[in-house]
Amino acid sequence: MSSKTWDYIAKIVMIGDSACGKSSLTIRLTDNTFSDTHDVTIAAEIGSKIVPVDDNVFIKLQIWDTAGQEHYRAVTRSYFRNATGCLLVYDVTRRDTFSHVQEWLSDLRAQADPEICVLLVGNKSDLSETHREVAADEARDWANANGLMDFVETSAKTGDRVEEAYLQVAREIYYKIKGGKFDVNDKAHGIKMNSAKYGSSGAPEIGLDSSKDVKDKGGCC
C-alpha cells in the first residue's frame, strides 16, 4: 500500500468502445496485473493511484473506469461531469473502435470541463505487429487535429507505456492547476486540494469521498 501524501485529487475518466482495454489499463496502473478474461464493467468502477507530478508534489488520480456499451451511455455521460482528465481509448487491432473516437470525444466535450486534459490511447500495442488496423501516424494526426494533448500506444498486457500515459495526463492537470485553469475552490471542477496540507479554505466538496485519504498524510516515496 502506498503511504504517499497527495496534494490534489483529480477525477479521470476512461472512455472508448467496449473491450479496448479500459479496465485492463486501470488495473495495470493500480495493481500492476493483467487478466486475459474480459469482465464487462457495469456502468463504472473506481480505481486510484498517487503519482508524482513535480518535486514533492503528488496527485491522487481517481480513475472512473466506465462501461463502453451503448446501453450504458446515458449513465456513462453523467460520469463525465467534473472530470479533469480523460484517457480516450481505442484498440489498435480493431478499426471500428478508432472510428468511434470522434463520437466519444463529442459526448465528452458536451458534458465535461472545457479544460479537460484528453489523451488518445491506442491500446494492445503488443499485437500491433501482426494485427494492426490503425496506423500510429493516422491516430496522432487525428489527436492533433482535434485538440487533444497527445497520443500514445500502450499495452495493458505487457505494461508498456501504461504508467507513462496516466502520468502525462496527471502532469498536464497539474500545469493547468498551476496556471489557474482549474479552480481548486470551485466544486464544478473535479479537483480537490489536500486541506490537511494547504488549509481548509482549499477543500471544496466535489462529491469525491476523500475522508479516508487524509490518513495517507505523512509518508512519502
Q: Which residues bind ligand GDP (CB under 6 A)?
A: 18-24, 35-38, 41, 68, 123-124, 126-127, 155-157
Smallest separation, CB 62 to Mg ion (Å) = 17
Nearer to ligand GDP, 127 or 136 (CB): 127
Nearer to Mg ion, 22 or 28 (CB): 22
Smallest separation, CB 123 to ligand GDP (Å) = 5
131, interface contact from ligand GDP, Mg ion, none, CB < 5-8 Å by kind? none
Residues 11-40 that bind Mg ion (CB under 5 A): 22-23
Residue 9's identity, in one-letter code, is: I
* Angle between helix 162-178 and 22-31 (nearest 10): 80
Segments in the chain forming alpha helices (H): 22-31, 73-80, 95-99, 101-111, 128-131, 136-145, 162-178, 195-198
Smallest separation, CB 129 to ligand GDP (Å) = 12
Nearer to ligand GDP, 24 or 168 (CB): 24
Residue 26's identity, in one-letter code, is: T
Q: Give the position of cell 496540507.
A: 197
Nearer to ligand GDP, 125 or 194 (CB): 125
From the CB of residue 19, how many other CB atoms can be counted at a distance below 10 Å?
16
Smallest separation, CB 218 to Mg ion (Å) = 34
Nearer to ligand GDP, 20 or 112 (CB): 20
41 binds Mg ion (CB under 5 A): yes
Smallest separation, CB 69 to ligand GDP (Å) = 8
Collapse the DSSP code of 20 into the 3-class scheme (helix H, G, I; strand E, B; otherwise coil) and give the result: coil
93 binds Mg ion (CB under 5 A): no
How far is CA 117 from its chain centroid?
9
84 binds Mg ion (CB under 5 A): no
21, interface contact from ligand GDP, Mg ion, none, CB < 5-8 Å by kind? ligand GDP
Residue 65's identity, in one-letter code, is: D
Nearer to ligand GDP, 22 or 60 (CB): 22
Distance CA 11, CA 83 (A): 5
Q: Which three cell numbers stand for residue 204?
A: 471544496
CA dist 87 → 11, 50, 105, 185 (Å)? 11, 17, 10, 25
Smallest separation, CB 64 to ligand GDP (Å) = 12
Collapse the DSSP code of 62 into the 3-class scheme (helix H, G, I; strand E, B; otherwise coil) and give the result: strand
* Site residues for Mg ion per CB under 5 A: 22-23, 41
